[in-house]
Structure 1
């Protein structure tokens, strides 16, 4: 297949691109950022030391703490007059993670998003309803930037405002939705409630920013009569959304290995995991000017997918984002990820994809309650909650109380759904 936005290169050519990009990035960061130069010198690294891709392992890691330390313009490696834009993501310590962009960074980002739209099978005739956050956040600006460069019609509404979302779906006959999975679920429920399935023209949806289960995806596809849906990864630190896309073969996410190097490391030992094992994504950019990243610890968990994809695209793949290493919570001495709970709930057809985990403490002892919605139109057996509790006990080795609640009774979100409510310190 001939693509407009994808280069065609061999593995040897890709390795050459990566090595040249690695050398450039280390030198650029060393020369342009006092913060980076100090970090590299402390590790005994000079740009001239980079001779091969094997030398990547000797470079120091960059973390979110480095971004907070340099606030408001952390790790800036170009003169400020070359900065044309900033974006930011939320911060948990009062300071947001702020990333600067040069014009070349913006141009690289728009190519990344154009690749996503092309890989999703869209054309310039598509109308793309962009239902994600604008402003400081990268999502809306990124999708619109890529949409316009790709040549499709952008319909930039942002999140929320359900009445207008529905009106645009009907009046403009938008054909693709870009949103979080939670927003897509909420929109699907509203389309069904107002009986609009026959009046809309949606064919595809691209959603990311949070993990979602196969059950959630199936409900969205069936309710909106979609031909296909696609998972899109991304983060503000690496331009924004669009670091890769799941292709129509749904055999993993192709990522842009000509623009960044991806390592998957054990988050504890910081050594490479075995092939096929889950680890933390660590990213080194190859051409990012304003804020280059050297071995940036993303905290996102995934695994490499080996071999060739049946779609024919010769770019490497990783699995869906399976969670974050900092999403983990400790309950009665056991390390648990919300995704483990979701995987168990997925096995019960009587339950929907929507759940929340509540943790509280009574008389010094921790308790976990899992509220999960019943599937619409399903009769719930009397022993179902007990069966789920037993499955959790068997698989995760902790006791919990499962409450099956009516459909549509748990909170919905225009952005990312909050799965964990930890009230143990209240």
Structure 2
């Protein structure tokens, strides 16, 4: 499934393709989507102003609020009769964000997921255990379509029902599994309870996504399941999973499929485009989609674009691991903290479960962070050591609370909420 004509395209040809696709996309948005036409007018630009890739920085961002403001299909470029599928994110703060696909878009969705699965180590004829949730969430159906394109035999188990999942892994002997990293750890625990170790199961590759995860979590998953784990990245607003994926031979940065998604990194406060190698907010444009192309989507994910040095022959850029989200950033007494930094400390200790929960509260005028962690053997020594290491490594003072194993929330195939913020409650 490696596509040399695309994935190893000479960079000048790739940049020419990107410019041509961006120009065509802007014309479609201007002609068919009043909301974008108004955004262009407010920014003082027209599609004709894009004569180079550098000109893209003159155009406005699209944010999640834009999709909610034009709910359900106000950003669609095609008549409803041409739509073939609709997905939606959970509406935790009101209406969900709805995304639509025509036949062309579904083909792209399958293509980029198939590329991602191949990069992760999947090969035609393998059995694929798909533990992403099916339904309005893009994860299950998205990875399912890509697996079919690649020629895998898919077990569409979806999320939840952990004991059933373990039984199917034991009986059907899949080589590839897809799920969230936190759920991979749940499955590892469940397998261990049945007396099954990595040598007793058939899994070889794990395609993990939908949550940011630390490098040490990768080591935990690989040890528990006996796999090589890679990160798959995507957003429903862009297409779903399959925007990028690590190569299993490198496990170092996720290849962005730049023939379909144009990446930028911008300063989180000013929106200024930053050079490759600098940390900022990831901005993505879905250049090739027709039903609902999205211009300069503000993902909120903090990362950087890596230099173009790799061992795979691909010329497309890679993105580094997600450091956190601009909207998940915890500012604690003036220090910036991402949950993944706390996770890395816990996994590094090796004495506690990687399952944790952060509770933010306020005592008088001061913010406080309580880190709830599962530990088989709770002790004051262990609690103080966690607090000490977080102070040394992350630079913040926290209060650690040790909990019984299995008492903290688990992922059941969807995204797991790690932070509860009580600072606004009285």
- Contact 1:350–1:380 under 8 Å retained in 2: no
- Contact 2:286–2:293 under 8 Å retained in 1: yes
2:63 aligned with 1:63, yes or no? yes
2:188 aligned with 1:157, yes or no? no
Residue 68 of structure 1 and its aligned partner are, at CA, apart by 0.8
16-25 or 334-343, which moves further after superposition?
334-343
Please name the residue that 1:318 is paired with.
319
Distance 1:309 1:363, change over 3 A: same
Please name the residue that 1:264 is paired with.
265
Distance 1:8 1:328, change over 3 A: closer
Q: What is the alpha-carbon distance in structure 1 between the residues aligned to residue 2 and residue 259 of structure 2?
A: 18
Question: TM-score, with normalisation over the residues of structure 1?
Answer: 0.93
Q: What is the alpha-carbon distance in structure 1 between the residues aligned to residue 166 and residue 295 of structure 2?
A: 43
Distance 1:361 1:43, change over 3 A: closer
Please name the residue that 2:143 is paired with.
143
Q: What is the alpha-carbon distance in structure 2 between the residues aligned to residue 218 and residue 395 of structure 1?
A: 20
Please name the residue that 2:369 is paired with.
368
Please name the residue that 1:419 is paired with.
418
Q: What is the alpha-carbon distance in structure 1 between the residues aligned to residue 339 and residue 216 of structure 2?
A: 16
345-354 or 286-295, which moves further after superposition?
345-354
Q: What is the alpha-carbon distance in structure 1 between the residues aligned to residue 106 and residue 4 of structure 2?
A: 18
Please name the residue that 2:34 is paired with.
34
Residue 351 of structure 1 and its aligned partner are, at CA, apart by 3.3
Residue 5 of structure 1 and its aligned partner are, at CA, apart by 8.7
Please name the residue that 1:116 is paired with.
116
Q: Deviations over 1:196-235 (max 9, x none)?
A: 3354311111010001223322222112222x11100001
Q: What is the alpha-carbon distance in structure 2 between the residues aligned to residue 363 and residue 41 of structure 1?
A: 47
- Contact 2:181–2:211 under 8 Å retained in 1: yes
Kindly report which structure 2 residues correspond to 1:227-306, keeping only aligned pairs within 5 A, or say none. 228-248=228-248, 249-306=250-307
Please name the residue that 1:343 is paired with.
344
Residue 278 of structure 1 and its aligned partner are, at CA, apart by 1.4
Distance 1:289 1:406, change over 3 A: same
- Contact 2:6–2:259 under 8 Å retained in 1: no
Structure 2: unaligned runs, 5 residues or longer: none
- Contact 1:213–1:353 under 8 Å retained in 2: no
Q: Equivalent residue of 1:238, what SS?
A: coil
Q: Equivalent residue of 2:353, what SS?
A: strand
Q: What is the alpha-carbon distance in structure 2 between the residues aligned to residue 328 and residue 2 of structure 1?
A: 36
Q: What is the alpha-carbon distance in structure 2 between the residues aligned to residue 365 and residue 22 of structure 1?
A: 48
Residue 380 of structure 1 and its aligned partner are, at CA, apart by 7.3
Q: Deviations over 1:101-131 (max 9, x none)?
A: 1110000110001101211222122110111
Residue 308 of structure 1 and its aligned partner are, at CA, apart by 1.6
Please name the residue that 2:214 is paired with.
213
**Partner residue of 2:400 out of 388, 399, 402:** 402
Residue 21 of structure 1 and its aligned partner are, at CA, apart by 0.6
Q: What is the alpha-carbon distance in structure 1 between the residues aligned to residue 274 and residue 288 of structure 2?
A: 26
**Partner residue of 1:390 out of 381, 388, 398:** 388
- Contact 2:208–2:231 under 8 Å retained in 1: yes
Q: What is the alpha-carbon distance in structure 1 between the residues aligned to residue 8 and residue 342 of structure 2?
A: 41
Number of residues of Structure 1 aligned to a counterpart in Structure 2: 422
Q: What is the alpha-carbon distance in structure 2 between the residues aligned to residue 386 and residue 129 of structure 1?
A: 40
Q: What is the alpha-carbon distance in structure 2 between the residues aligned to residue 68 and residue 60 of structure 1?
A: 17
2:202 aligned with 1:187, yes or no? no
Q: Deviations over 1:141-165 (max 9, x none)?
A: 1011111111110110100012221
Residue 290 of structure 1 and its aligned partner are, at CA, apart by 1.1
Q: Equivalent residue of 1:370, what SS?
A: strand
Residue 69 of structure 1 and its aligned partner are, at CA, apart by 0.8
Residue 275 of structure 1 and its aligned partner are, at CA, apart by 3.8
Residue 3 of structure 1 and its aligned partner are, at CA, apart by 4.2
Q: Equivalent residue of 2:355, what SS?
A: strand
- Contact 2:212–2:323 under 8 Å retained in 1: yes
8-17 or 267-276, which moves further after superposition?
267-276
- Contact 2:2–2:115 under 8 Å retained in 1: no
Q: What is the alpha-carbon distance in structure 2 between the residues aligned to residue 395 and residue 168 of structure 1?
A: 41
Residue 54 of structure 1 and its aligned partner are, at CA, apart by 1.5
Q: What is the alpha-carbon distance in structure 1 between the residues aligned to residue 117 and residue 165 of structure 2?
A: 21
